[in-house]
Chains A and B, each alone.
Chain A
Amino acid sequence: MDEGNSGVVAASQTSFIMRAAMPRSYMAYVGGNLLNLLRTFHGIIAFTLITLGVILNHLGDAPAVTKPQIIRELWRSGLRLFPMFLFMSGSLGLVVIGQVVSRLSSINATGFLGTIMVMVVVRELGPLFTALLVLSRAGTANVIELGTARALGEVEALEALGIDPVHYLVLPRVIGMALGVFALTVYFIIGALLSGYVWAFIQNVPLRPSDYFQQLAQSLTWLDFAVLALKSCLFGVTIAMITCYHGLAQPIRIGQVSRATIGAIAQCIIACVLLDVLFIFLYLAV
């Protein structure tokens, strides 16, 4: 190579570098993604309204088929995950809650224990952690199952039999996930609070069980129970709707199922966190 020209960049390379660095490309990238996001949001809202219509108008139809489907979804999104939740709630109690208890006792502030527990475990970590765990186990399965069914033409097969795919495939998942997330959240919170005390007990924190539970009871209000039920059910419905939408609502090929799953999981996490923020505002307002 001629050394005199070593610092000169070829015209074709220059245009490539300039194209890559042009802010216009960033705008196109961001704008394109934003448009896709808006389209997806629009699709999910429309799909949710359709599902809501089916739930309101056809909830009691074909009970011989839908009841076993709902029970199966309750098993998949609830009972089957129970052992994992037992382990996770115990771990959370030991790792996080136990540390709070020992720290409060070292500064003689164990009187705030109940309030902190309720704020951290009951209001925030319990529902959100449960939703994310259910998403990882049952939500991913939803997209893969429905996406595969769609790609293999099973949805058209249902339509040919006069069976509404939303009624047969989506409705049981929405009900099962809403109830499953709610039930698991309750068990998760109980497990975390109990294991937290066990950790404090091991650390010789001077706190009797009766005092601990009394503080918890005093810190809990009717709003906590109402919001806990509403929030956990909404998390379940949100996960079910987004995962079902990505698996079912648009034509899909087998090769696109993994991509749809990744997209659905990311959107579910964002949606659950945004919902959580909304509930924080609700608490602050009340």
Chain B
Amino acid sequence: MDTPQPSLNPDAGSPAPVIEMRGVSAGTLRDPQAVGIQDVNWTVRPGEFWVIAGMHDSGKSDFLTLTAGLMPPREGAYQLFGHDMAGDGTIPLSLRLRLGLVFEGGRLLHDLTVVENVALPLLYHHHLDANAVQQRAEGLLALTGLSEWADASPGDLPLKVLKRGGLARALMLKPEILLLDNPLGGLDPREIAWWLDFLGALWAGHPFFDGHRLTMVVTTNDLRVWRRRCSHYALLKDKRFVVLGDESQMTGNTDLLVKEFLAEASAPA
């Protein structure tokens, strides 16, 4: 039985952090020995909505992989739901199922249809009647506007459907934390609007989650669209994680890269 560890930075006035990193360094998925990110100090409390900005190849995907427990930290202390993630990097199944990860391209399994992909986690982890699983999967497909693609194979689908499919699959087990890797990358304005509205509804307390607010972490390479739509901002810069704070703190930040992200400064020549 895994017992929750005391918080790395106890604060009596706030709810216990769900994600807490102190001095964390990690490699990359391709090369665990390389330096992907270092010296991360980050605390996420329930109900927060974090947007993490970074340029291409700044390590956003690897950072989310680390956060999701798919890659162990090389140095430092990482607690997920109060459980220490250091050591061999293995994460108890009960913890993993409380966290959903949406990959950039959806990463649906190509030998399954869309509805089978969405049903897979529930079918795998719970001894439920196949009809009940099918019903819930179809409900989620309707919620994410994918009903007409239910029986399609991922290989035949456009990016926007793959991304929504990845989102529906991650929501199937009703996670407490949702990590999204560049969800708006490569999408048209109408699709971006749908994602912003849908994620906003999840954060506000969607009926699918019985009104509970979802804790969310999103990575992006365009900070502007997320302004005033989340609670906290951070930046990946020079392989370091920089907490920018809330909207007013970020706006007042004088870092050139932040200004670039907010399109208030031009890129250096």
B107 touches A154 (CB 8 A): yes
Please give the number of chain A residues whose Cβ is less than 8 angstroms from any Cβ of chain B in the complex.
19
A156 touches B127 (CB 8 A): no
Given the interface contacts A62-B125, A149-B109, does A161 sit within 8 Å of B103 by beta carbon? no
Q: Which residue of A lies closest to B125 (CB)?
A: A162
A62 touches B124 (CB 8 A): yes
Q: Which residue of B lies closest to A66 (CB)?
A: B124
A170-B109 Cα distance, complex, nearest whole Å = 15
Q: How many whole Å from A91's CB to the nearest CB in chain B? A: 33
A65-B133 Cα distance, complex, nearest whole Å = 12
B109 touches A157 (CB 8 A): yes
Residue-wise interface mask of B (162-194) relative to A, using a CB-CB cutoff of 8 A (1 in contact, 0 not) = 000010011001000000000000000000000
Q: Which residue of A lies closest to B169 (CB)?
A: A161
Given the interface contacts A149-B109, A163-B124, does A157 sit within 8 Å of B103 by beta carbon? yes
A148-B111 Cα distance, complex, nearest whole Å = 11
Q: Which residue of A lies closest to B130 (CB)?
A: A64
A203-B124 Cα distance, complex, nearest whole Å = 59
Residues of A with C-beta under 8 A to B130: 64
The residue in B101, B107, B123, B166 that gathers the most chain A C-beta atoms within 10 A of its C-beta is: B107
Residues of B with C-beta under 8 A to A251: 29-30
Q: How many whole Å from B33's CB to the nearest CB in chain A? A: 13
A158-B109 Cα distance, complex, nearest whole Å = 9
A65 touches B65 (CB 8 A): no
Given the interface contacts A65-B124, A161-B124, does A156 sit within 8 Å of B107 by beta carbon? yes
- Whether a CB of chain A sits under 8 angstroms from the CB of B243 is no
Residues of A with C-beta under 8 A to B124: 62, 64-65, 161-163, 168
Q: How many whole Å from B115's CB to the nearest CB in chain A? A: 14
A160 touches B70 (CB 8 A): yes
Q: Which residue of A lies closest to B92 (CB)?
A: A162
B120 touches A161 (CB 8 A): yes
Given the interface contacts A162-B93, A251-B30, does A153 sit within 8 Å of B107 by beta carbon? yes
A163 touches B121 (CB 8 A): yes
Residues of B with C-beta under 8 A to A224: none
Which residues of B are in contact with A by a Cβ distance under 8 Å?
29-30, 65, 68, 70, 93, 96-97, 100-101, 103, 105, 107-111, 120-121, 123-125, 127, 130, 133, 166, 169-170, 173
- Can you list 27 pairs linking A and B with CB atoms under 8 Å apart? A62-B123, A64-B124, A65-B120, A145-B111, A148-B110, A149-B109, A152-B107, A152-B110, A154-B107, A156-B29, A157-B108, A157-B109, A157-B166, A158-B109, A160-B68, A160-B70, A160-B100, A161-B121, A161-B124, A161-B173, A162-B93, A162-B97, A162-B121, A162-B124, A163-B120, A168-B124, A251-B29
